Structure 1
Amino acid sequence: MTTTQGEFIQVEHRGDVAWVTIDRPKKLNALSTTLMAELSARLREVEADDRVRVVVLRGGEQAFSVGYDIAEEVELGVATAEQWHAGLTNNIGLTMQVWGLRKPVIGAVSGWCLAGGCELAMACDLLIATPDAQFGEPEIRFGSGPVTLLMPFLIGQKATNELLFTGDIVDADRALQLGLINRIVTTDALEDEVDRMARKIALTPLSILRFTKRALNAAYEQMGLRGAVSANLDIAAVLNSADTAERAEFTELVATKGLGAALAWRDARYAETE
């Protein structure tokens, strides 16, 4: 067993399974540009390593990831459609890197799994979650929207429409009903269950796993998945640059009072409807 600890990403090799851990607990694993670059580099390494047959992607106990680093976006002053297009291209690139990795990827989810973090999880081939896991893309509530549009292909039209129009967050039980995750296990059992699943899959020769994943992904891509993701990039760039009072208020609060205050304002607007 060998472990490599980076600034935000830890990689642990357990035989032919690579455990890749997002490790930014103070920010609930928010996906900053630095973190995403480091994660992308580590994923390329484990993909190229023929000793690795299966990859596990996980966060911490409090959060798999709460999504893209909103405070960083505000600090960088991302505003125009062109600026958003460049940034979102990078975001989509990481999620689709997980989706297209030439080895099975098992996602292990505890706590918050939201927005871009939810998209990253959905890109995994299998998802195992704890009872406290929370899934959703609440971005519409402050004037944003999904970046990598995978949800329609995983849970269908009506359920996707409800989640993306309302910004609702669903618990692990509902996520299981929707087919968003494979199973729920207790927090204490999560690592053992993921390890068992990974070792079971790793009994298959790597070449067979690669071709099987290629076939499965091709089926979804024949349904238009990559085309939908690509088309949404252009729409999302315009959507995020739209001049709305709600987005302006949210951005101002992030800049002046912090992300916590902005999220509290956002949630207060919806409190009576919950």
Structure 2
Amino acid sequence: MAFEHILYDVKSRVASITLHRPEKRNALNGAMVAELRAAFKQAESDPDVKVIILKGAGEAFCAGADLEYLQQLQLNTREENLADSKELMQLMQQIYYHDKVVIAQVEGHAVAGGCGLVTLCDLSYAVPEAKLGYTEVKIGFIPALVAVFLVRKIGEGRARDLLLTGRLITAEKAAYYGLVNDVIPADRIAEHVAKIADDLCTGASANSLKVTKKLITDVFDQPLENALEQAARLNAETREHADCQRGIKAFLDKEKMVW
């Protein structure tokens, strides 16, 4: 698929997905959401991709919904708006449940839907200058879809704080809240994220990463006893996987395993 609003590149088992509307501060519209869905699907089916980096071109990571897009939504019927909302819902599910590790490289402000994208990623790193927040209530809208994921990520109290006030917070505060993993200077963030991605590619089994992600996402939806039963089953299944057998053999033989 040819992309107009994003850039897609694969190198050394890392797929880079770049929001590429810098003149619009990488604001989201229907076309970009569709392209993001296609790109994440392509990365998931590509055996040469092990890690995904999501970033933005220009000064902003993502400014949320495009203004022209918001104007069009006012003219839509309820059925059209529901269909549009479900497209965004499916993108969020796609990122959250993705088989591959997804890293956000936040080199500018991430606002509203843009901050929603950061919320969905497994790991996130931001520059000190970045501001993050969910400003939907300030324009009479609601952060409906992202709320489901944000409560899981940072807890109810902090989610209420950010979603109800609509305030923007610094990258440092976002790290304190657990929204991002670390704050990295602008001149080092690309190198830092690339190193994290490379370490995941060479230092961990693809199957182990996939199953661990599944376990983390699934335990929230189950009673404790059910979650433990699933964990025991996945533990047993993983022991039979070729990756586990190779990894244990290398460990016992005191050999360095390169995945």
Output the TM-score relative to the length of structure 1: 0.76
Aligned 8 A contact 1:65 1:114 in 2: yes
Q: CA deviation at 1:184?
A: 0.6
Distance, in Å, in 1 between the alignment partners of 2:95 and 2:184 is: 23
1:101 is matched with which residue? 98
The letter of the residue matching 1:151 is L
Range with greater deviation from structure 2 (49-58 or 156-165): 156-165
Q: CA deviation at 1:133?
A: 1.2
The letter of the residue matching 2:159 is T
The DSSP-based 3-state class of the residue aligned with 1:202 is: helix
The letter of the residue matching 2:155 is G
- Structure number with greater Rg is 2
Are 1:132 and 2:120 matched, yes or no?
no
1:38 to 12, 35, 38: 35
Aligned 8 A contact 1:116 1:147 in 2: no
Are 1:207 and 2:207 matched, yes or no?
yes
Distance, in Å, in 2 between the alignment partners of 1:79 and 1:109 is: 32
The DSSP-based 3-state class of the residue aligned with 2:8 is: strand
* 1:78–1:92 CA distance, 2 compared to 1 (3 A): farther
Aligned 8 A contact 2:171 2:183 in 1: yes
* 1:156–1:78 CA distance, 2 compared to 1 (3 A): farther
Q: CA deviation at 1:73?
A: 2.8
2:232 is matched with which residue? none
* 1:26–1:222 CA distance, 2 compared to 1 (3 A): farther
What do the CA deviations read for 1:128-164 (whole angstroms, capped 9, x no partner)?
Answer: 1100111111110110011322211111122211211
Distance, in Å, in 2 between the alignment partners of 1:132 and 1:92 is: 29
Q: CA deviation at 1:110?
A: 1.6
2:7 to 3, 6, 10: 10
Q: Which has the higher contact order (CA 8 A, sep 6+)?
A: 1
2:222 is matched with which residue? 222
Distance, in Å, in 2 between the alignment partners of 1:72 and 1:34 is: 10
Distance, in Å, in 2 between the alignment partners of 1:80 and 1:5 is: 30
Q: How does 1:87-166 map to 2 (within 5 A)?
A: 87-148=84-145, 149=147, 150-166=149-165
Aligned 8 A contact 2:56 2:106 in 1: yes
What do the CA deviations read for 1:156-198 (whole angstroms, capped 9, x no partner)?
Answer: 1222112111111111011011011100111111110000000
Q: Which consecutive unaligned segments of at least 5 residues does structure 2 have?
A: 224-259
What do the CA deviations read for 1:59-82 (whole angstroms, capped 9, x no partner)?
Answer: 134111111223213135345543
Range with greater deviation from structure 2 (6-15 or 31-40): 6-15
1:258 is matched with which residue? none
1:27 is matched with which residue? 24
Q: For the aligned residues, what is the CA RMSD?
A: 1.7
The letter of the residue matching 2:16 is W
What do the CA deviations read for 1:65-113 (whole angstroms, capped 9, x no partner)?
Answer: 1112232131353455433322211111111211111111011002111
Off by >4 Å, runs of 4+ in structure 1: none
Query: What percent of counterpart residues are identical?
Result: 31
2:178 is matched with which residue? 179
The letter of the residue matching 2:42 is E
Aligned 8 A contact 2:7 2:20 in 1: yes
Report the number of matched residues. 220
Distance, in Å, in 2 between the alignment partners of 1:5 and 1:62 is: 24
Aligned 8 A contact 1:78 1:84 in 2: no
Range with greater deviation from structure 2 (81-90 or 40-49): 81-90
1:190 is matched with which residue? 189
Aligned 8 A contact 1:22 1:60 in 2: yes
The letter of the residue matching 1:197 is I
Distance, in Å, in 1 between the alignment partners of 2:8 and 2:220 is: 29
